[in-house]
A and B are shown apart, each in its own frame.
Chain A
Amino acid sequence: MGNRLPPQPGEWIARDAPLHFTFEGLACQGFAGDTVSSALLANGVRVLGRSFKYHRPRGVLSAANHDANVLLQTASDLNIRGDVSPVMAGESYRAVNTLGGVKHDKARVIEALSALLPVGFYYKAFHKPRRMFPMWERVIRKLSGLGRIAPGFPETRSPWRRLHCDCLVIGAGPSGLAASLRLSAAGVQVVLADENAGVGGSAAWTDGASAWLAAAQATAHNSPKMTVLTGTFAAGLYSDLEVPLVSREGLTIVTPRRLLVTTGVIEQPAVFRNNDVPGVMLASAAQRLVARYGVAPFTRGVMLAGNPEACEASAWLLERGLALDALLVLPGFKPTPEILAKLEARDVRIVRDVTALEALSQNGVLTGVRCEAGGCELRFACDGLLMSAGWAPATQLLHQGGARFAHEAVIDQRIPTELPVGLYAAGRVNGVYTLEARRQDGEAAADEILASLGYSSARTPRPPRAGEAHSHPRPFFAHPRGRNFVDFDEDIQLHDLEVACREGFDNIELLKRFTTNGMGPSQGKHSNLNAARWLADYHGVGMDAVGSTTARPFYHPVPMGVLAGRRIRPQAHGALEPQHRAAGAVWMEAGAWLRPRRYADSGPTGLAEYRAVREGVGVIDVSTLGKLEIFGRDAVRLLELAFTGRFASLKAGRSRYVLLCDHRGTVVDDGLAACLGEHHFYLTAGSGHVTATCRQLTQIAALYGLQVEVVDRTRQMTAINVAGPRARMLLQPHTPQGIDDAAFPFTQVRDTTLFGLPARMMRVGFVGETGFEVHVRYTDGPHLWQALLEAGAPLGLRPFGVETQRLLRLEKAHLIVGHDTDGVMHPFETPLAGLVALDKPQFLGKAALDLLQHQVNRRLVGFETSEAGSEALEECHLIIREGEICGRITSVARSPVLGKTIGLAVLECVADQPLPEAIELRNGRGQLVRANLREGAFYDPANSRQQEGTA
């Protein structure tokens, strides 16, 4: 291959393992250990992608995925990060974001239209004329996005792993390695993670580090106390120091006792005309390519020098046989005479105080550099222009962990000044720069960690921070023709920052959002610092005054399949599910449960089920109901404090409807409280809210020091509702005690047996007929259900589903909390106001309800109509009064027994003023349908059928 160097010490490629692949149809060869980017450069491929907005040709910039220049797609994956992804044998890679390939991208014409596409143009364009928007929408959809999802992508499930350790070290450069070795030698269990495929970081191209690095690597990999995870990045830092590590194998969630961040620094580009041309790259990128992959990134190069690392990198590259023709020194940077002499001895021309800079290109790749210095114009022919202008500390994880920072003027870098307990930092992210200092800083951090874990050890002192700046404060070269890129991901130029500030978006947060600087796949790793520097210059203030934007997870893009893991979806299964399935249930989701919406043999309308309940007997599985056993000396007091109603007078064997509000007075749950004894209650609650209700009751008990236990039995019991005029006829022969009205009146409850099974029976009425709710142990449920079906067959018994249940309860105008009520509705807006005992001294929500009783601005009302158009009424259709919206429907259905449409609706009203007699509802066809308001139940308003029963 043309651009391979001789084998480099410690290189990461295996030259005895060649592999073949293609890039946009071009046959290429790489080695095992190559990344896609390194293999392509080795094959002389210079243009590896196209930019997001202007579709400019792009090459390797960082070789570390600190930019999104090299994003690739294959037949089975997309948005492959070329700088860090290993090249795979036999794979066919294509660049994303092109129309017709990276060489002949048809979308490159967009750059010619760039004058019409200034930053933020999309806030102001495409909406006039309105009729053209559908066309623009199609165009934008076609052009936008990165990568194409193919239906043939293989479905993979990558299991999550969990690791617990004493210390997680993120970043295996010199400071991270030194710290890990110190910690593991002391007996601490260490997980060391690095996003690169190997450990060592920049030590691989630091003079004097090779021997130490080789020894450190060997120790790290052989230590029983150390788990080394390479090719693994920390996606973020969450509470309790939890860190998700992402690798090709999947997600590992690490919960360490201590966390050490040694993530180093990210090299920053200089900003000048055509700084994005393939061939222009960061100096550290060149070093990575040489040291790790043995790739010569150029044949003739020029170094742009803004910091000491520029000179060191130049000398390092020269020693490895690369040709550097010139060192262009930025104004204000003064290289030492010694290094300049060393470079001049190697025929490197030194150009001081460069005041203008421009990359020259032909056919989209770098051909030379034009600069000005001392009033003269200079040109250098080259195919490599390396930028070494400065660093941004990789502080994202520290920010997420709650660290505080200050701008350190000498090194011109934000450094952590306060770290939360358990979180530590060392190395260049901490402002320490020389190799020895970084190792010492890592060991010092390790000693601090050891002390905090209770290990006694000598305390290595923290080295002083760097005594000089390692970043140039102003690596900008304006140009009247622009194309000087600040953010390579989003094609943001210096001029765009100016436009944003002129339009008033002149603080760092607004600048980011208006221009999208830092919002691309690399999330500002190479652009945030330059934008902040530019903004500081614009306002004439220091960097501390400008501040920074917030670094949020994820640090690098994470494949959604990795996050999905095994796609676990916890479900709850009722004991009767097999029975429902056998009966042809049509399912619906109810939270974590599945419930039968209806049964297949009921027909499409479910009328057969409805008639069974109204005319005969029906059974419904209500096992999803919340079920709480409340027992203890203070059981009554707990209920009095939690619920709006009164319970002291509730006698054993009786039940009462309960209402639960939160501290704001909002209705959050309802149910039934059954008294089973002086200190014993059984509470049913809404399926979706029982966990929160149980938690609330437990909190109240703890707050008031009550002697009471609240036991959640929701998932341990089966509950069945038997309802209909023949319900008593069905059950009486199979239970020892009488269940007629005299023996078992409405609201009574008893523990008894049914079909020989221990059962708790309650006389209830939700659907408006004689009803019995039977609660049994979970494992008894199938026996009970089967027994009911067999005994009920001669009576025409049918199981009925949720659809029928909702229709039946609507005919009784019974509301469903969370369906007919919303997140702010209080009891005085509903027919439940009578359940609120405001004369109680204390209960949850009382303070708010004392006020809200006088703030009734809307009401939950019942309505009925037979008007034309009523068949097209649905939930959430609006109530219209004098052309204005004044409410909405919450429940609506056609009542078979009443022969009309009925429903519940929330209606705006004026407090203390009577409600209108009728309202107008707008149906789905836009028609206004008149409906009469109605108070109370639509069906059996006297409640004679459910309370007196029809034996």
Chain B
Amino acid sequence: MRQSPLLPCFPETAFAQGEVDGVTLAVHRRDGRSAATWMSDHSHGQRSLWVGEGAEVLLAQDGLERLDLLQRVVHPRGGWIVRLGSTRFLRVGASFARAPSVLLPGFLELPLDSADLSLGGEHAVQLLSEFCASPISGCTSTDWYPVTLAGHEVALWRDELIFHVVCAPADALSLFATLAEGLRDLGGELIGLHDIPERSQSGVKA
């Protein structure tokens, strides 16, 4: 069982922990409080980098050919995939079998640890905009949007009303601290994964 890199940011005294898609993270805020702007840990699920010419062959087998750069595309086997480079892809899902790399020449799968912070609500865009020189409004629901946020290299993606900030685990704590300070100033709150408001739930699951 893996732990979310953000788990230390959601103390057990205030947040009930649970396992979601193979990852332990904060699922419920114990006092039930919510706010118009919120932030949550969305680091569940599985992520892998698929690298090499063989990756394109593998994707073609699932009907995913000629993916556009930095566009998230739903994967027929669940989750989604995004092209990060000419022969580099990010595979994200609740769980997926490791690719048969031994059968595929020129293919390498690298399991990826990362943190995914979700933000939503009234001031989510304002909160992110403070720390990012790129226009947050430029991130659409199908984008994988690499930016520098509060000095960290991250990627933004968007699930309708919810923004996600994905970063390497070594950046997670520092990035969280900065965003949490901004969230506090805006009157926002941390919530558990399952506390995310219903109206924002569309497409929550990866």
Contact = CB atoms under 8 A, between A and B. Distances in A.
B170 A572 contact: yes
Contacts of B137: 164
Given A632-B106, A716-B112, A570 B51 contact: no
A631 interface: yes
A147 B129 CA distance: 35
B185 interface: yes
Interface size class of A (residues with CB under 8 A): 35 or more
Given A160-B130, A709-B51, A570 B106 contact: no
Interface string A692-712: 000000000000000101010
A709 B86 CA distance: 8
A713 B51 CA distance: 13
B5 A779 contact: yes
B104 interface: no
B110 A574 contact: no
A707 B175 CA distance: 34
A716 B169 CA distance: 6
Contacts of A162: 129-130, 132-133
A568 B151 CA distance: 8
A888 interface: no
A571 B174 contact: yes
A571 B178 CA distance: 11
Contacts of A707: 53, 87
B156 interface: no
B32 to A, nearest CB: 29
Interface string B133-146: 10101000000000
Contacts of B113: 716-717, 777-779
B95 interface: no
A633 B129 contact: no
Interface residues of B, number: 42
B172 A573 contact: yes
B3 interface: yes
Contacts of A623: 170
B182 A633 contact: no
A778 B2 CA distance: 10
Given A777-B113, A779-B113, A570 B52 contact: no
B169 A715 contact: yes
A623 B168 CA distance: 13
A311 interface: no
A4 interface: no
Contacts of A459: none
Contact of B110 (A159, A571, A593, A713): A713
A779 B88 CA distance: 23
A679 interface: yes
Contact of B182 (A159, A578, A680): A159
B8 interface: yes
A711 B49 CA distance: 9
A413 interface: no
Interface string B74-113: 0000000000011110000000000000000010101111
B182 A778 contact: no
B51 A633 contact: no
Nearest to B170: A715
B171 A578 contact: no
Interface in A267-306: none
B170 A573 contact: yes
Contacts of A161: 126, 129-130
A674 B87 CA distance: 22
B152 interface: yes
Interface in B117-176: 126, 129-133, 135, 137, 150-152, 168-175
B163 to A, nearest CB: 15
A781 to B, nearest CB: 9
A701 to B, nearest CB: 10
Nearest to A566: B181
Given A631-B52, A633-B106, A568 B178 contact: yes
Nearest to A159: B130
Contacts of A593: 170
Contact of B169 (A160, A632, A779): A779
Contacts of B173: 571, 573
Contact of A568 (B129, B131, B133): B131
Contact of B171 (A164, A242, A570, A713): A570
B50 to A, nearest CB: 10
B106 A679 contact: yes
Interface in B49-71: 49, 51-53
B51 A629 contact: yes
B114 interface: yes
A633 B107 CA distance: 10
Contact of B150 (A568, A629, A777): A568
A575 interface: yes
A255 interface: yes
A778 B178 contact: no
Contact of B168 (A631, A633, A679, A715): A715
Contacts of A632: 51-53, 87, 106
B150 A570 contact: yes
A253 interface: yes
Nearest to B8: A578
B174 A572 contact: yes
A557 B146 CA distance: 34
A597 to B, nearest CB: 19
B87 to A, nearest CB: 6
B152 to A, nearest CB: 5
B171 A711 contact: no
Interface in A605-637: 623, 629, 631-633
A779 B130 contact: no
Contacts of A163: 129
Contacts of B126: 161
A629 B106 contact: no
Given A566-B178, A715-B169, A779-B169, A255 B133 contact: yes
A242 B135 CA distance: 13
Contact of A709 (B85, B111, B151, B178): B85
Contacts of A631: 51-52, 108
A578 B182 CA distance: 25
A191 to B, nearest CB: 14
Interface in A561-611: 566, 568-575, 578, 593
Contacts of B88: 709, 711
Contacts of A242: 133
A779 B170 contact: no
A709 B83 CA distance: 13
B195 to A, nearest CB: 24
Contacts of A255: 133, 135
A593 B111 CA distance: 23
A716 B108 contact: no
Interface string A135-169: 00000000000000000000000011111100000
18 contacts: A159-B182, A161-B129, A162-B129, A242-B133, A255-B133, A566-B181, A568-B150, A570-B152, A573-B170, A573-B173, A575-B169, A623-B170, A629-B108, A632-B51, A633-B53, A714-B168, A715-B169, A777-B113
Given A161-B129, A162-B129, 4 more contacts: A707-B53, A709-B51, A715-B171, A777-B111
Interface of A: 159-164, 242, 253, 255, 566, 568-575, 578, 593, 623, 629, 631-633, 679-680, 707, 709, 711, 713-717, 777-779
Closest 10 CB pairs of A and B: A570-B151, A715-B168, A715-B170, A571-B174, A778-B113, A778-B169, A164-B135, A572-B170, A573-B173, A162-B129
